Structure 1
Amino acid sequence: MILTENARLRLRTMCRDDLEELYALLSDAEVMRWLEPPFSRTQTEDFLEQAGLSEPPLVYAAESSEGEFLGYAIYHGYDERSCELGWVLKPAFWHKGYADEMTDLLAALARLEGKDAVIECAPEQTASAQIARRHCFSYEGRAGGCDVYRLRYKE
């Protein structure tokens, strides 16, 4: 199922066939620098099962319009009035506008649900913070060791 898409990318429900690409992503130390220690294959299998194949999913596969796996998008309930959104991309797709496009697409979904959009990131992860600010998210403080940025829904 496609969650949302634009001319360059689509966000879709994950499937078991995503395991190899997901493992390559989550075992990459550069990708995981601000998240967690790199994942083992078993941890990746568990993540796919618990976050990607859950109902509803917490994460969605991100792929180019040609079907190339870019990484994944985070999109799920955060609290009763907000959805959390985010992205984890392969380094080959950093600094190419994909995170900005994913932010636009996911914030629009939250807005359709009448909810705020929230981005959490490690305080040292300045690239994600810059994306949040560029998309008019406001810094709200720190929770659980992460900086929290919110885009308020306005009726």
Structure 2
Amino acid sequence: MSIFWLGCGRVLEPRQEGALAGLSGPAAGGPSAPPQPADAEFLLRLYHEIGMRAPELAREAIVGDRMLFGRHTGWVVMLLDLHEGAPTHWDIGWTLKAKKGRPTVADCVTGFGSDPAALAAQLWISTSGACFLELVTGSATARFSAVAVHPL
């Protein structure tokens, strides 16, 4: 799988599978660690944010093993372990088709305040999550609603 880092809304650097040596989880192609309570809560927040903008995606989603999976269309939004961060920091990857060799776009987000998971999910859906929504739905409307629902 190819991993692409996002920064300031653009792809910065491709990384190949060898760059993921020593990592666990779906990104490394090995077994994933059991989800931490914060991970499970964050996945539910992502599910909620996606569902607010693209209900058809939420209806087909399966939640589990640190990922949301579109069972009919094959999209995946996953939690990755790419680098260390605060307990309110999440590495998020997404792909449009869950197939070997398909690129995965990776980004990270950190929440803060009284509900860091909610804020982090809102930040993601308003940035690289908006790109995910536009590409997976084929509609710019989903992208624009992602920014309009929770303006930063």
Same fold (TM over 0.5): no
TM class by smaller structure: 0.3 to 0.5
Higher relative contact order (CA 8 A, sep 6+): 2
Counting strand residues as a fraction of each chain, which structure ranks higher? 1
More helix by share: 2
- Report the TM-score when normalising by structure 1: 0.34
Provide TM-score, normalisation by structure 2: 0.35
